[in-house]
């Protein structure tokens, strides 16, 4: 699963002198090395002392089996939480009951917790510990929680709910990622039409500052939110010149140019001579209003891909709050909803043509409409889906070894891997050596961060597949696994700290010798391991004392008369050289 947005990282320490910082880093690193938490970049905790804590990325699977946590390649299930603890007990008309696990969205804050919105009859959010997988609790929220977005700079989770207006005091809720139990008063109401749900999408990002944006299906506005006051401060209408414009739904934000990409919805007439479509289909029709006239028709997804679905995706500049362009078609087919690459550079657009055509928009400068960088023709089965979308998700992988994006059609047992560094070469991995039959249902695609493995969900078949990107082969198939959501979870806070220590001492030539010393002494028995643990604890206490002493010394010492003090951010950068030492991080985020 891919989302645009920030990835939280550890920021450098500020407000301490360079000499003291060297001492603190040295002592703290010795503590980490002695306790075995860092050795040449390995950040896995000691499995004997702490068997339940995990420091490497894992795949979390949410579905009818509850919540299962696996190693990157799927070879080991390291944790399972039973459905009865995290799902909904549904009672049927005949009095029978069953546990139903309908997860709407799942996100990780990268620091402490994993968050899940699940349909359970009671509006609550499930919160899990990121390092152990334990269920922290289920916390009340607004009605029918759906889409969630993380704002790492503010240390907040924003929840877009889908309840009816008359059943909810707010369409959006906010949680603190520092303390989920801390109540945050929120009342953001985007419409008062009690006949409509408030389903839609959210966009919050550090690049947007203290504002966010939201859509509501069936409402012809883009809503601008004040994240500090937690209120709607503006709404932008796109009805002018579009009499059949109905609303906005799916939306992504690119920090590279500060633009939003939002998919439009339309209304269409049906069931009469001269209507947009002659038949109204299995969903029937209702009275709708177009250009002030009441007619028989439909709106929203029932008109998607039809003859009047020609507004497409609206590209909106958040710097000036103006429309800079539209993207109506992919090839000759109407466009589906937008996806965004992890680095914010590309917007991926699929056509409503059975998955035959995919376009990659390359975002340009702020205020300029994004242009098509590449059009791909893909070889997927299109039987019975010639005018439908077959992609619900994709994943984008970019690191020192790979620059790929991966798509899986819900109407095929193939997965397409596009090599961005090799002239967009497309290769296919077969999930099954049989023709696809049955209903086209969603396939989620999720890369396990910092690994060679991509997971693909197949809910229609109750199967989940694991692909090795290095060999481009299927390596594992899970059966009887109704994976509603897949989420790659990594403790970025811990990994960021480990990287900072690692980079600093590599630059100073200290880590290699320390690691070798540890390696040479690692063959001792259990008594020496215990002694090492005690030593690590003692050194940790000394390191903490050094930090405290240095802090008070810095507070009490007058500035030198011979020069100008360096800014705190400059001190941090001079020590670690980290690109994550953003001066803005010196300002405490709002969690009120």
| Predicted pLDDT of residue 167 | 57
Answer yes or no: is 76 within a domain: no
The owner of tokens 């958040």 is 318
Q: Is 502 found in the same domain as 572?
A: yes
Q: Is 386 found in the same domain as 479?
A: yes
Q: How many structural domains comprise the chain?
A: 2
pTM of the predicted structure, to 2 decimals:
0.75
User: With the C-alpha atoms ordered 314, 315, 321, 323, is the resulting torsion angle positive or negative?
Assistant: negative
Cβ neighbours of 19 (radius 10 Å) = 9
Nearest to 244 by CA among 277, 282, 279: 277
Please report which helix (H) or strand (E) contains residue 25, including its range. Answer: helix 18-34
Query: Cα–Cα distance between 256 and 365 in angstroms, integer?
Result: 8
The range of the structural domain enclosing residue 428 comes to 378-489
Strand partners, 90: 98
Query: Cα–Cα distance between 356 and 378 in angstroms, integer?
Result: 5
Query: Cα–Cα distance between 272 and 266 in angstroms, integer?
Result: 18
Query: Cα–Cα distance between 206 and 154 in angstroms, integer?
Result: 8
Tell which of 438, 468, 489 closes a domain: 489
Query: Cα–Cα distance between 452 and 444 in angstroms, integer?
Result: 17
Q: Is 480 found in the same domain as 387?
A: yes
What 8-state DSSP symbol labels residue 464? E
Query: Cα–Cα distance between 499 and 41 in angstroms, integer?
Result: 7
Answer yes or no: is 279 within a domain: no
| Predicted pLDDT of residue 482 | 84
What is the token pair recorded at 22?
A: 């060297």
Query: Cα–Cα distance between 13 and 570 in angstroms, integer?
Result: 11
Q: Is 485 found in the same domain as 502?
A: no
Strand partners, 392: none
What is the token pair recorded at 528?
A: 């020496």
C-alpha distances in Å from residue 392, one per residue of 202, 263, 427, 442, 458 = 17, 14, 20, 6, 12
| Predicted pLDDT of residue 461 | 85
Nearest to 183 by CA among 139, 134, 145, 130: 139
Nearest to 505 by CA among 14, 10, 21: 21
- CB-based contact 479:457 (threshold 8 Å): no
Q: Is 474 found in the same domain as 504?
A: no
Answer yes or no: is 285 within a domain: no
- CA count, 13 A, side-chain hemisphere, 316: 26
Answer yes or no: is 397 within a domain: yes
Tell which of 454, 489, 524 closes a domain: 489
C-alpha distances in Å from residue 114, one per residue of 106, 152, 199, 395 = 7, 13, 22, 19
Helices 568-576 and 18-34: angle between axes, nearest 10 degrees: 50
Burial class (CB in 10 A: 0-12, 13-18, 19+), 282: exposed
Residues 6+ apart with CB under 8 A from 248: 200, 215, 216, 217, 219, 220, 221, 222, 238, 262, 263, 264, 265, 314
| Predicted pLDDT of residue 281 | 84
Nearest to 546 by CA among 13, 12, 21: 21
Q: Is 551 found in the same domain as 507?
A: yes
| Predicted pLDDT of residue 324 | 97
Query: Cα–Cα distance between 143 and 349 in angstroms, integer?
Result: 31
Answer yes or no: is 473 within a domain: yes
Find the angle CA(282)-CA(144)-CA(92) to the nearest 5 degrees: 65
Give the CA dihedral 469, 474, 475, 479, nearest 10 degrees. Answer: 130
Q: Is 507 found in the same domain as 481?
A: no
What is the token pair recorded at 300?
A: 């929203």
Answer yes or no: is 278 within a domain: no
Residue 300 CA from chain centroid, whole number: 25
Reduced to 3 states (helix: H, G, I; strand: E, B; else coil), residue 500 is helix
Answer yes or no: is 259 within a domain: no
Residuewise pLDDT in 10s, the chain (592 residues): 554 444 443 334 444 455 555 555 555 555 544 444 433 333 333 333 344 565 789 999 999 899 999 999 999 999 999 998 888 777 777 777 778 888 999 999 999 999 999 877 778 899 999 999 999 999 988 888 889 999 989 999 999 888 765 556 678 899 999 999 887 877 788 777 666 677 889 999 999 999 999 998 888 999 999 999 999 999 999 987 888 999 999 999 999 999 999 999 999 999 988 999 988 988 889 999 898 899 999 999 999 999 999 999 999 999 999 999 999 999 889 999 999 998 899 999 999 999 999 999 999 999 999 999 999 999 999 999 999 999 989 999 998 999 999 999 999 999 999 999 999 999 999 999 998 988 887 899 999 999 999 999 987 788 999 999 999 999 999 998 889 999 999 986 545 444 554 554 555 555 455 444 444 444 444 444 454 455 555 656 666 766 666 666 655 555 544 444 444 433 343 333 333 333 333 333 332 3
Tell which of 489, 517, 552 closes a domain: 489
Cβ neighbours of 589 (radius 10 Å) = 17
- Return the HEC string of 252-269: EEECCCCEEEEEEEEEEE
Q: Is 414 found in the same domain as 392?
A: yes
Answer yes or no: is 153 within a domain: no
| Predicted pLDDT of residue 22 | 56
Burial class (CB in 10 A: 0-12, 13-18, 19+), 22: middle
User: With the C-alpha atoms ordered 75, 400, 392, 249, is the resulting torsion angle positive or negative?
Assistant: positive
- CB-based contact 193:220 (threshold 8 Å): no
What is the token pair recorded at 98?
A: 């069953």
Q: Is 504 found in the same domain as 482?
A: no
| Predicted pLDDT of residue 225 | 94
Please report which helix (H) or strand (E) contains residue 381, including its range. Answer: none
CATH of the domain at 432: 2.40.128
Q: Is 478 found in the same domain as 397?
A: yes
Q: Is 543 found in the same domain as 579?
A: yes
Q: Is 527 found in the same domain as 466?
A: no
What is the token pair recorded at 225?
A: 């939110």
| Predicted pLDDT of residue 571 | 38
């Amino acid at each position: 699963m891919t989302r645009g947005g920030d990835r939280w990282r550890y920021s450098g320490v500020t407000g301490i002198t360079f000499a003291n910082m060297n001492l603190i880093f040295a002592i703290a690193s010795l503590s980490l090395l002695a306790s075995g938490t860092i050795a040449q970049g390995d950040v896995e905790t000691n499995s004997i002392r702490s068997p339940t804590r995990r420091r490497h990325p894992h795949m979390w699977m949410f579905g009818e089996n509850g919540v299962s946590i696996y190693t990157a390649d799927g070879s080991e299930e390291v944790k399972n939480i039973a459905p009865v603890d995290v799902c909904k007990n549904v009672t049927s008309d005949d009095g029978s009951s069953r546990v139903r696990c309908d997860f709407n969205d799942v996100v990780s804050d990268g620091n402490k917790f994993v968050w899940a919105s699940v349909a359970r009859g009671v509006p609550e959010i499930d919160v899990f510990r990121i390092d152990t997988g334990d269920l922290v609790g289920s916390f009340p929220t607004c009605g029918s929680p759906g889409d969630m977005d993380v704002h790492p700079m503010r240390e907040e989770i924003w929840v877009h709910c889908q309840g009816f207006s008359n059943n909810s005091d707010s369409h959006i809720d906010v949680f603190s990622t520092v303390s989920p139990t801390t109540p945050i008063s929120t009342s953001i109401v985007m419409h008062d039409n009690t006949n409509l749900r408030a389903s839609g999408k959210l966009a919050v990002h550090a690049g947007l500052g203290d504002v966010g944006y939201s859509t509501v299906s069936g409402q012809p506005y883009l809503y601008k939110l004040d994240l500090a006051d937690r209120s709607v401060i503006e709404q932008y209408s796109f009805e002018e010149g579009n009499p059949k414009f109905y609303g906005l739904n799916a939306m992504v934000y690119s920090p590279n140019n500060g633009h939003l990409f939002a998919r439009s919805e339309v209304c269409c007439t049906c069931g009469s001579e001269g209507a947009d479509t002659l038949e109204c289909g299995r969903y029937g029709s209702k009275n709708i209003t177009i250009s002030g006239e009441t007619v028989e028709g439909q709106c929203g997804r029932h008109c998607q891909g039809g003859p009047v679905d020609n507004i497409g995706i609206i590209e909106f500049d958040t710097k000036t709050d103006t429309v800079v362009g539209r993207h109506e078609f992919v090839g000759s087919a109407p466009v589906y909803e937008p996806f965004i690459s992890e680095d914010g550079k590309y917007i991926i657009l699929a056509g409503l043509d059975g998955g035959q055509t995919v376009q990659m928009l390359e975002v340009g400068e702020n205020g300029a409409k994004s242009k098509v960088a590449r059009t791909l023709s893909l070889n997927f089965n299109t039987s019975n889906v010639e005018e439908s979308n077959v992609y619900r998700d994709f994943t984008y992988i970019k690191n020192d070894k790979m620059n790929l994006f991966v798509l899986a059609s819900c109407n095929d047992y193939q997965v397409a891997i596009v090599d961005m560094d090799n002239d967009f070469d497309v290769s296919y991995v077969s999930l099954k050596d049989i023709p696809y039959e049955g209903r086209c249902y969603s396939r989620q695609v999720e890369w396990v961060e910092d690994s060679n493995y991509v997971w693909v969900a197949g809910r229609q078949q109750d199967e989940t597949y694991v692909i090795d990107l290095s060999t481009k082969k299927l390596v594992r198939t899970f059966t009887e696994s109704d994976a509603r959501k897949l989420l790659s979870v990594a403790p970025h806070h811990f990994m960021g700290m480990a990287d900072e220590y690692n980079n600093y001492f590599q630059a100073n030539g200290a880590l290699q010798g320390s690691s070798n010393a540890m390696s040479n002494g690692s063959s001792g028995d259990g008594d020496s391991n215990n002694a090492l643990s005690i030593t690590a604890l003692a050194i940790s206490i000394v390191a903490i004392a050094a930090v405290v002493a240095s802090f008070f010394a810095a507070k009490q010492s007058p500035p030198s008369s011979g020069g100008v003090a360096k800014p705190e951010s400059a001190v941090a950068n001079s020590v670690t050289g980290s690109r994550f030492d953003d001066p803005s991080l010196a300002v405490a985020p709002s969690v009120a």
